[in-house]
Structure 1
Amino acid sequence: MKRDCSFSHLISLSGLKLVIYCVNKASVDIMDSDVEIIDVPVALESVEAELESVEAELELVKLQKAELVEKENDLTFRKNFLLHKLEKACDAASSGGHSGTARETSEEELRRYDGTDFAWSKHLKRQLKASFHLSEFRPLQMRAINLTLSGKDLFLVMPTGRGKSLCYQLPAICSEGFTLVVTPLVSLMEDQIMYLRSINVAAVMLNASSSKVTLRTFKLLKSIFKSWGRIFQEHSKSVLAGMIDNKDPFKLLYVTPEKIAKSKMFMSRLEKANNANLLSRIAVDEVHCCSQWGHDFRPDYKLLGILKRQFPKVPMIGLTATATGSLLEDCGKILCIQKPITLRSSFNRTNLFYEVRPKMSDDMLIADIASLIKKRYKDQSGIVYVFSQKDAESVSSQLRQRAISSAPYHANLDSDDKSGTHRKWSAGQIQVVVATVAFGMGINKANVRFVIHHTISKSIENYYQESGRAGRDDAPADCIVYFGFADIFRVSSMVVMENVGQRKLNQMVTYCHNLDRCRRSLLAVHFNEVWDDKECNKMCDTCRQGHDVIATDIAEHGRQVVEILELAASKQEKLTPLKLVEAWMGKGPTKHRKSTQTTALSRVQVESVIVHLFLQGYLREDFSFTPYSTYFYLLLGHKAPLLKSPGYTLQVKIRSGYSQSELVKSPSDQAKRSHQTLEKAPKAKKIKKENND
């Protein structure tokens, strides 16, 4: 043995073999088959490497397990929901006139409210025909009306255009006193009042901004009409006086929630009306606005609980087109309603055709919309929904340049301009309203033949409600949404502050990105309804075009995207969606081209792959805030490590025959193409940091 040999341990094993653990194996000079020499640093390095490998594999297994658990939970939830539906249907079928469980008894009681043997039934029938010119009720209308006239509190969930408003308007006519109707938008109130006055039903409105409008209008017209200001001032006084007038000068009083929250005078007069038995019921329209989990949360709606606390014996009816069970439960707590009855009709509007179109360049998009309006919808009314006030002005202007009668509508317009646009459109003097979400809930124009979304909505609920403004007359109507890659991240920056804004937006993106499932089936899942695709009757683009799609593996493409983002992260950089697309395609700045593999896919396919990776959790969002803007970046998601696992596959659906050969091209072919692209690439330049795409 060499003198400079250093070792930490000498261990004698059973038998004659000796094991020597050394710090430096090279310093040991022993040639003996019965002696085993182990170099500690080398052994530790080998063990650490194997440990890292095992830990990495464990992480992949955990991710795969989490993925399976998530899928199991989704399927279990759906299974339980379907079983509950089946059980409920069986219970309803077997209850047939005999009492059973509490739930069966409840179903029997509700069926009783479908009858026409109530004290008010004959009066209802007369007023239905005389005032509303209708001969019969739609499903659930009779039940809801009888319940509210019986003094019950209830929630009514019914699709847009199915006649929710009748469920409080008709009872108002048939009751003593007046019905208080709380609505979130002035445009909604104006629309309802225009309609009611057209059928000679007395209805008035008050809102929190009335005084501001009065003052501005008074100043503008003071020199011309000296009595104008007095007329405006007298309006509020006459409404407040009418609230306690036994002669019933009006049957419906529409107010915004701000009026209730901020006007002590109004609440005082409401209390007097209740004491005089003139407050017959309270209707909260768009009741989903109460909950912060709703898609149109309004802070002042959270203060409406004061109504039930102050007037506990006055029946309340909450109405909405879109609300899940948990959301309604939250609304019940906010409104202080004890055990409300919930009536829910199917989401399905059989006369509406749903379609998703790819979004093109701005000029091509406007040209396509204009072509639709001038050819398919010639002389027919419609709405074009846009993302921003700027878009409303721009798109409306471009449509007018193409000889289409249109006007913008958004929150920043003067109240008189908004009201004028609404009235002209309702009267058919304007063909198209180009609007933000400010033009919305409760619009009562029956013959709207198309609702076009220039940009995707921020949630399925918003889209369902906005598109539902088409075809209220039950005649065929189209609901078309243009879906573009950049819009996902544009809208995302708007919902970033909302509690579940990104999750709801992702559901909308999934609806648009879908290629093979019936559009209605996606809506049914969202609203927890059982759906059979046959019921669509080819009234959506996927059912009409056929399911000509195939499954293909995009795991290799996903690995390339992961490599690009890993490289960016190693350089302390973040990529916007646009920069990620350009980096992967070998375009734009060339800083990363020689270090990562580019793709031979078309831009549409590249964007589609990135959207799929984002929706499935392989990529995630990240935001950066400046005093003026919010910027969106893509980072690696929690499932990204799965893509680096050998043999891992990621199946997606693509249209058969739609450049599929490029998408399913083998990795070796992709590598050849990528190498050629790199050889032709110009010399790399430094990338300047940009704050915008």
Structure 2
Amino acid sequence: PPEDELASIEYELQEVEAKLQSLLDRKQFLQQRRDRLKDSILLKKSNDLANHNWSEKNFEWSNKVDNILKTVFKLDGFRPYQLPSMNAVLSGQDVILIMPTGGGKSLCYQLPALVKSGVTLVICPLVSLMEDQLLALKALNVNAAILNSQSSKQEVDSIQKAMLDNKSLLRLLYVTPEKLAKSKRFMAKLQKMYQMGRLSMLAIDEVHCCSQWGHDFRPGEWRTHLSEYMSFIVLSGLNRDLYYGDPFRWPHVLNYKFLGVLKSMFPEVPILGLTATATTQVIVDTQKMLNIQGCLVLKATFNRPNLYYELANALVVLSLTAEDGEIEVRPKPSVQKECLDELADLLKVRYAGKSGIIYSTSIKDCEDLMQDLRNRGLRAVVATIAFGLGIDKPDVRFVIHHSLSKSMENFYQESGRAGRDNQPADCIVFYRFMDVFKLSTMVFTQQTGLEKLYGIVAYCLNPVRCRRMIIASHFDEAWESQDCNRMCDHCRHPRETKEVVITEYCRSLFKIMANAASMDSRLTGQKLIDAWLGKGATNLRVRDVKVPALSREMAEAVVAHLLIEGYLKEDFHFTPYSTISYVRRGLYPCRTLLYEYCLTFGLTLDQKRRQHCQKNIASQCPYVVKVFHQQTKLPHSHQLVAAKIVPRAPVTLILPHRQLHPRRNNRLKVVRRPTVVAV
């Protein structure tokens, strides 16, 4: 019959599609493997250089280095990897130094600049950071200067004259990448300096910006809004007034790619690249961009043992106001006002009298949050992600991300601004499903924007894995479980997990999207969830799609995981006023339809209590069950339902959200409180 033949063809087409997908997956795997092998070959030379003992103090300049450290910088010793990087640069080696925020990267080029004759050129993305370092160096009687777009003609002439004067005491010259890319006159001066032997070293701060996989610095992100009510933080040890507006002069669009010409122009000058965040991929790409393949790579550990990582997500929030030592479970509010209340509770209870930074995505969000905190009489620095680069404020006790970072690299660098004094500090992220789509519309035009965003989303969605282990794994660092020392919410408060087969859920989502496509309609993430849960517009629902036995938060987690894994895909459309993200089928839908796909959820304490109750109340507490039904007059078919909703104290039964009738309150009073807790 034609029907059987049609079914056979459909089945065979599915098999062919699965085989094609398998071949494409294999091709992608082989390409990635090939690229990794190429990168490993390039890194072999770097590893060989790293085997040399650069920490020794038997170099010809070692005594001078120790003397300058104590007499000029007033320090007693070096931090990890500072001395090796200095010895390598003074030996003429090109170096990429990866050191956590607050690790002392600036000293790694400032001190060698005083050891070597000539001028060290420091390329830095932030004018404010350069100004802070300049003032600090002048306080130490170190001759340094800045050239930027705000420099007067007299300053420019004086500095350029000093660049070519063998008798000049100038040791450090700070510039932005734009100065190199746009000023031919300045580049000509540098060439002349090189010919005279006066260009001793090139130091590139935030060197990961050279890589296509590095951060995306945009002009709008450099603006920070601070309130006069938040002026309790003193930046870089300076008595600088913080005011509402633009506290610093922001650079124009950065052009790090131009720096690739420096090695060909000045081949004998060592390059020192510095960054706090760089994966192996970023390191290799940066080496290629700067033409320093195989250079020495010094990589300090990414582990900051004093930082506590915590997530306030849509499934569980570890409350700060929980009584009697328990952890209260509640979701991150979906309403902005409730979210602000939650944040205010943090500042009032947990961080009263402590300094910290609250990061948000946009300038408008910063303004709204700042105004709300000011109205409540609370103090904190509220800023976009640019704030904090090079800030010398060691006693920051908390860094809160009011919304997601754009990548794991951003998150690590921003959270690393807490606890530079090596005292305990907290790094908290507020996560909500819809934040993913808000951020994706901001980063999708970047080559790796979505990939990096999904990386931080995966960090938030993971229900049990040590958060510090996730960070270490992202940066290709070896990790042992004991390294965390219970300094993340998962290790300090481990949760039970529940594995759910979501294959049928995937089919349901695909049916909903196919139904919308048949009506020439597009689905946002929120509309897709609503239709799946039987809510929202009726025409978007599908009759044969069963409403899942999941909470909305768990349903959102399913969709988020499918986005990360490629089963779903975001489709972006422009309007005159905004960019909208729609959700459609991704590259691997057939794999979901043909194979069993499981997802692991972390149970909240409330869910664990209910599960335990359902499994054990009937078998372990038969007397309680008997008394319960005698007093409530409920039929035995209501046993498990009643067990789910009985509260710890009878008085709470009068709350509107309780399912039992208030009149049963008196009947339940005969049940002892410990029994009610067990139920």
Same fold (TM over 0.5): yes
Normalised by the size of structure 1, how large is the TM-score?
0.74
1:149 to 62, 77, 90: 90
2:280 match: 325
Distance in 2, matches of 1:606 and 1:198, equals 57
Cα drift, residue 174 of structure 1? 2.2
2:369 to 373, 391, 395: 395
1:20 match: none
Deviations 1:62-98 (A, max 9, x none): 6578779989999x99x999xx9xxx9xxxxxxxxxx
1:626 aligns with 2:546: no
Give 1:264-343 correspondences, 5 Å limit.
264-296=184-216, 300-337=255-292, 339-343=294-298
The code of the aligned residue for 1:442 comes to G
1:134 aligns with 2:75: yes
**Alignment identity in percent?**
45
Helix, strand or coil at the partner of 1:456: coil
The more displaced of 129-138 and 347-356 is: 129-138
Give 1:498-513 correspondences, 5 Å limit.
498-513=446-461
1:205 match: 146
1:635 aligns with 2:584: yes
1:650 to 578, 598, 601: 598
2:99 to 122, 133, 158: 158
Distance in 2, matches of 1:538 and 1:115, equals 35
The code of the aligned residue for 1:328 comes to I
2:113 match: 172
1:49 match: 7
Cα drift, residue 642 of structure 1? 4.1
Question: CA contact under 8 A between 1:355 and 1:480: conserved in structure 2?
Answer: yes
Deviations 1:143-171 (A, max 9, x none): 11011111211111122221221111111
Helix, strand or coil at the partner of 1:304: helix
Question: CA contact under 8 A between 1:305 and 1:336: conserved in structure 2?
Answer: yes
Normalised by the size of structure 2, how large is the TM-score?
0.75
1:123 match: 64
Distance in 1, matches of 2:342 and 2:393, equals 25
Deviations 1:601-648 (A, max 9, x none): 322222122212222222111111123321101112233334444x73
The code of the aligned residue for 1:187 comes to S
The code of the aligned residue for 1:242 comes to A
Deviations 1:655-690 (A, max 9, x none): 25554779xx9xxxxxxx9xxxxxxxxxxxxxxxxx
Helix, strand or coil at the partner of 2:397: strand
Query: Which 4+ residue blocks in structure 1 deviate beyond 6 angstroms?
Result: 64-74, 101-105
Distance in 1, matches of 2:277 and 2:520, equals 43
1:565 match: 513
The code of the aligned residue for 1:446 comes to P
The code of the aligned residue for 2:7 comes to A
The number of residue pairs the alignment matches comes to 555
Distance in 2, matches of 1:448 and 1:191, equals 18
Deviations 1:353-377 (A, max 9, x none): 1111124221222222233233333
Distance in 2, matches of 1:655 and 1:331, equals 42
The more displaced of 58-67 and 277-286 is: 58-67
Distance in 2, matches of 1:499 and 1:531, equals 30
2:312 match: 357
Distance in 2, matches of 1:250 and 1:377, equals 44
The more displaced of 234-243 and 312-321 is: 234-243
The more displaced of 336-345 and 314-323 is: 336-345
Question: CA contact under 8 A between 1:518 and 1:543: conserved in structure 2?
Answer: yes
Helix, strand or coil at the partner of 1:205: strand
1:253 aligns with 2:193: no
Question: CA contact under 8 A between 1:586 and 1:599: conserved in structure 2?
Answer: no
1:380 match: 354
Helix, strand or coil at the partner of 1:591: helix
- Distance of aligned partners of 1:104 and 1:586 in 2 relative to their CA distance in 1, 3 Å threshold: closer
- Distance of aligned partners of 1:130 and 1:314 in 2 relative to their CA distance in 1, 3 Å threshold: same
Cα drift, residue 239 of structure 1? 2.4
The code of the aligned residue for 1:395 comes to L
Question: Which runs of 5 or more structure 2 residues have no equivalent in the other structure?
Answer: 218-252, 314-331, 615-640, 642-679
Question: CA contact under 8 A between 1:187 and 1:440: conserved in structure 2?
Answer: no
Distance in 1, matches of 2:607 and 2:26, equals 31
Distance in 2, matches of 1:163 and 1:181, equals 15
1:438 match: 386
1:609 aligns with 2:584: no
Question: Which runs of 5 or more structure 1 residues have no equivalent in the other structure?
Answer: 1-41, 89-100, 212-231, 406-431, 666-672, 674-693
2:159 to 239, 243, 248: 239
CA RMSD of aligned residues (A): 3.2
1:491 match: 439
Distance in 2, matches of 1:474 and 1:198, equals 25
Larger radius of gyration: 1
